[in-house]
Structure 1
Amino acid sequence: MSQKILAINAGSSSLKFKLYTMPDEKVLMSGQIDRIGTKTSEFSYVIAGKRSKIVAPMESFDTAIQNVIDTLLTSHVIQSKNEITGVGHRISHGGRYYSAPVLVDEDVKSKIDELAVLSPLHNPVNLLGIEAFEKLLPHAQEVAVFDTSFHHTIPAKAYMYALPYSYYEDHGIRRYGFHGPSHEYIAQRAPELFGKEKTHRMISCHLGNGGSLTALLDGKSVNSSMGFTPLAGIVMGTRSGDIDPEIIPFIEEEFHMSSQEVRNMLNKDSGLLGISGLSNDIRDLDKAAQAGNKRAQLALDVYVHQIQQYIGAYTTDLEGLDTLVFTAGIGEHSALIRQMVCDRLGYLGVKLDAAKNDANELSIEAADSRVKVAVIPTDEEIIIARDVMSVLGLN
């Protein structure tokens, strides 16, 4: 029996969504609301291939979600709110509590709130999304899909930190990994495209404003660059990525900053923006670097260098590399970053075809490359919708 399932991805001031009929996975409507909480919120959506855009004040997530539901009804995508069986929510941090998606109840909401300290940019707004949909779609069942769940297959040698063991045992301090729905989608989609043999040892590069790399062995995560929180790993748009931990108390003492002020700085004022002093957007940095801005070029060089380091390390974890995948906003659209990353990977047998790379083709490796290099658009929402179906027993 066909079900209507809504997949939700809430950001700090944005809401992405897709409404599917399942299990045929047909998208009835997709869209995004940006700048929630301002007078110039933008609601763009697609129904039956037709794009529309509304600019109007949306002061809260409740207002934004009400706009989505109203549009679904006025566009006759649905005749009644009760047609939506389930709502799947992407939740950033599930900690050690959740290794699989779960039906939302009061205990689940409490744990999402408890874990907000580990993902301060995401878990609080993820919870706001759940509570708004509970009010506005009371007949639908809510399912939490955690970014961290997919990475519970990482072995202890890769997830343990060299801290006193009681911190892990009593408080769950370990590497968790994030962007789970995206890496899971790549783990499923790449073998469909290229076959299991060619995707036995694979590295998925999710490169957006946030970024992470995952080592995939036969579709399972065996290492991932984000850690206890989404702050770890490669340089990101505004996040620092890996740093010497001694830098933190040094900054607190030298600049008389509180731990919260340092946390904000590492999450919001660092990364590409921090190095360049200009922008967290690769396109802006590329333009500035071409015009001779040395700090913009430095930001690009540091970013690429760190990606290359993780690829080298994960090739060791996998004992070789069959396929390298680029996905998410930068990975899917920046031929420059893909070319810069691959330029130093010849020792692994990676060789790009410049024309295919510039054209954003699916396979961008040269004919004599020993490693397949692919550009696969991610689809976190379909993973969320499938998980909702599974949790609700509707498969």
Structure 2
Amino acid sequence: MSTVLVVNSGSSSIKYQLVDTVHGSALASGIVERIGETVGSIKHTFADATTSRTDPVPDHGAGLRAVLDLFREQGPDLQEAGIVAVGHRVVHGGSVFGGPVLVTDEVMDQIDALSPLAPLHNPPNLTGIRVARELFPDVPHVVVFDTAFFRTLPEAAATYAIDKEVAAAYGVRRYGFHGTSHQYVSTRVAEVLGRRPQDLNQIVLHLGNGASASAVRGGVAVETSMGLTPLEGLVMGTRSGDLDPAVLIHLQRNAGMSVDDVDDLLNRRSGLKGLSGENDFRALHGLVDAGDPDAVLALDVYLHRLRKYVGAYCAVLGRVDVIAFTAGVGENDEIVRARALENLESLGIAVDLEKNAGRIREPRIISPDWATTTVMVVPTNEELAIARQAVDLVGDAPDDSADLGHA
């Protein structure tokens, strides 16, 4: 076997998955939540059985040690799992990292230096790496960056029209995010269709609580909706997406809002939640069905922005062979999928309502036979993508003396 333990460390959570990269399956998975709070939560799933615990998890070190305890108690045995690497997700790689890298002290310093570009994400990502290196000292650690897939953006797409010296001094440009998902899905689309990625022009719509769109020409990203940070672009669960920058100036001057106030507003109290009070689509649809005007408007705003990006990327690509929906909303919400592509028949884009019905767990074409653009739902698997990139980087497995989780 060739397995990778994938760790995704957030500010108060750790998601993990033990991935069999040969068969593309998860051998075990779990999540540690509410780190640093009075009562923490840990769930570990193996062999179709889930073990749940509610214990204090004071820090990330305690969280990962609890995960190792569950592996020992519930399985699988990490010593026998054939682990060749620990893979880590890091949100922001800036202009420094264009692909996966082996973790070194220098790499960690560079990730730390990029924290001003992603203050909510890079520091906890870095904490998870630091702790995992202590617990798995003899296994290679690999970092995969959300921004790496979008390093190929043309300068015209990546450049903001502000003073170039200011932009250069502070790293202001479009970086893009969710890149691991966009890369995985665009590659998977080609596999499912039996086509070469270099022969396809694709629009990928990663729709979850965070949402992003990308234009991929011949397997290479040429546009994306997120920018310097994950705030730009589509309307999201709690984030505003695109906004006139003068709104920030207006609120600071006239509402007396501080930088932190505006940050909180745009990242946590905007998007669907800001418009309707709900950022869960199941609850939102319930409110829409009940005729709640705020919910109706929120959904309309969300879909309008999404449809506008699809149209813009049709113009960027010139020819669109495939539009792929993915992530939590994209895979599970038939209403969003259908309404997002309404009235685009003149562009050869449409959704067949029967094919589109329900939650979709496997890649499926949902466009009618006459459509010139294939519309698909392709479930994303960022953990598998991270694991495979880690295996490609480290090559052969380490020797049998590797110490797996006994530090």
TM-score (ref. length: structure 1): 0.93
- Give the secondary-structure state (helix, strand or coil) at the position aligned to 2:365: coil
Deviation (angstroms), 1:79: 5.2
Deviation (angstroms), 1:240: 1.1
| C-alpha spacing 1:282/1:82, structure 2 compared with 1 (3 Å) | closer
- Give the secondary-structure state (helix, strand or coil) at the position aligned to 1:212: strand
Deviation (angstroms), 1:286: 1.0
Q: Which amino acid aligns with 1:236?
A: M
Partner of 2:289: 290
Percentage identity across aligned positions?
A: 39
Deviation (angstroms), 1:197: 6.5
Partner of 1:108: 107
Distance across 2 between alignment mates of 1:339 and 1:45: 35
| Contact 1:187 1:220 (C-alpha < 8 Å) held by counterparts | no
| Contact 1:82 1:139 (C-alpha < 8 Å) held by counterparts | no
| Contact 2:332 2:358 (C-alpha < 8 Å) held by counterparts | no
Q: Which amino acid aligns with 2:373?
A: V
Distance across 1 between alignment mates of 2:202 and 2:174: 20
Distance across 1 between alignment mates of 2:154 and 2:67: 41
Deviation (angstroms), 1:33: 2.8
| Contact 1:85 1:139 (C-alpha < 8 Å) held by counterparts | no
Partner of 1:67: 66
| Contact 1:231 1:241 (C-alpha < 8 Å) held by counterparts | yes
| Contact 2:46 2:75 (C-alpha < 8 Å) held by counterparts | no
| Contact 1:30 1:47 (C-alpha < 8 Å) held by counterparts | yes
| C-alpha spacing 1:65/1:312, structure 2 compared with 1 (3 Å) | same
| More displaced stretch, 366-375 vs 74-83 | 74-83
| C-alpha spacing 1:345/1:8, structure 2 compared with 1 (3 Å) | farther
| More displaced stretch, 151-160 vs 139-148 | 139-148
Deviation (angstroms), 1:82: 9.9
Q: Which runs of 5+ in 1 are unaligned?
A: none
| C-alpha spacing 1:150/1:294, structure 2 compared with 1 (3 Å) | same
- Give the secondary-structure state (helix, strand or coil) at the position aligned to 2:3: strand
1:217 aligns with 2:204: no
- Give the secondary-structure state (helix, strand or coil) at the position aligned to 1:143: strand
Deviation (angstroms), 1:253: 1.5
Deviation (angstroms), 1:62: 1.9
Partner of 2:317: 318
Q: Which amino acid aligns with 1:318?
A: L
Q: How does 1:134-149 map to 2 (within 5 A)?
A: 134-149=133-148
| C-alpha spacing 1:82/1:266, structure 2 compared with 1 (3 Å) | same
1:9 aligns with 2:8: yes
Aligned counterpart for 2:365 among listed residues 360, 363, 366: 363
> Any idea what the Cα deviations from partners look like across 1:18-61, whole Å, max 9, x if unmatched?
11244454432122233333345333333223334333332322
Q: Which amino acid aligns with 1:376?
A: V
Partner of 1:44: 43
Aligned counterpart for 1:382 among listed residues 372, 381, 384: 384
| Contact 1:81 1:137 (C-alpha < 8 Å) held by counterparts | no
Distance across 1 between alignment mates of 2:224 and 2:39: 37
Deviation (angstroms), 1:195: 2.6
Partner of 1:247: 247
Deviation (angstroms), 1:337: 0.6
Deviation (angstroms), 1:149: 0.4
Partner of 2:54: 55
Distance across 2 between alignment mates of 1:286 and 1:63: 39
> Any idea what the Cα deviations from partners look like across 1:110-164, whole Å, max 9, x if unmatched?
2222222222221121112112212222222221111000111111111111111
Partner of 1:257: 257
- Give the secondary-structure state (helix, strand or coil) at the position aligned to 2:241: coil
| More displaced stretch, 148-157 vs 193-202 | 193-202
| Contact 1:238 1:280 (C-alpha < 8 Å) held by counterparts | yes
1:29 aligns with 2:23: no
| Contact 1:82 1:140 (C-alpha < 8 Å) held by counterparts | no
Distance across 2 between alignment mates of 1:21 and 1:149: 23
> Any idea what the Cα deviations from partners look like across 1:292-349, whole Å, max 9, x if unmatched?
2111111111111111111111111110211110000000001111111011322221
| More displaced stretch, 189-198 vs 310-319 | 189-198
Deviation (angstroms), 1:174: 0.9
Deviation (angstroms), 1:202: 0.7
- Give the secondary-structure state (helix, strand or coil) at the position aligned to 2:93: coil
| C-alpha spacing 1:38/1:170, structure 2 compared with 1 (3 Å) | closer
| C-alpha spacing 1:137/1:197, structure 2 compared with 1 (3 Å) | closer
| More displaced stretch, 354-363 vs 66-75 | 354-363
**How many residues get paired?**
393
- Give the secondary-structure state (helix, strand or coil) at the position aligned to 1:151: helix
1:121 aligns with 2:120: yes
> Any idea what the Cα deviations from partners look like across 1:76-133, whole Å, max 9, x if unmatched?
4125499643211111111111111111222222222222222222112111211221
Q: Which amino acid aligns with 1:370?
A: T
| More displaced stretch, 374-383 vs 136-145 | 136-145
Aligned counterpart for 1:394 among listed residues 362, 383, 396: 396
Deviation (angstroms), 1:371: 1.6
Deviation (angstroms), 1:358: 1.5
Partner of 2:162: 163
Greater RCO, CA 8 A, separation 6+: 2
Q: Which runs of 5+ in 2 are unaligned?
A: 398-407
Q: Which amino acid aligns with 1:166?
A: E
| C-alpha spacing 1:332/1:24, structure 2 compared with 1 (3 Å) | closer
- Give the secondary-structure state (helix, strand or coil) at the position aligned to 1:232: coil
Partner of 2:301: 302
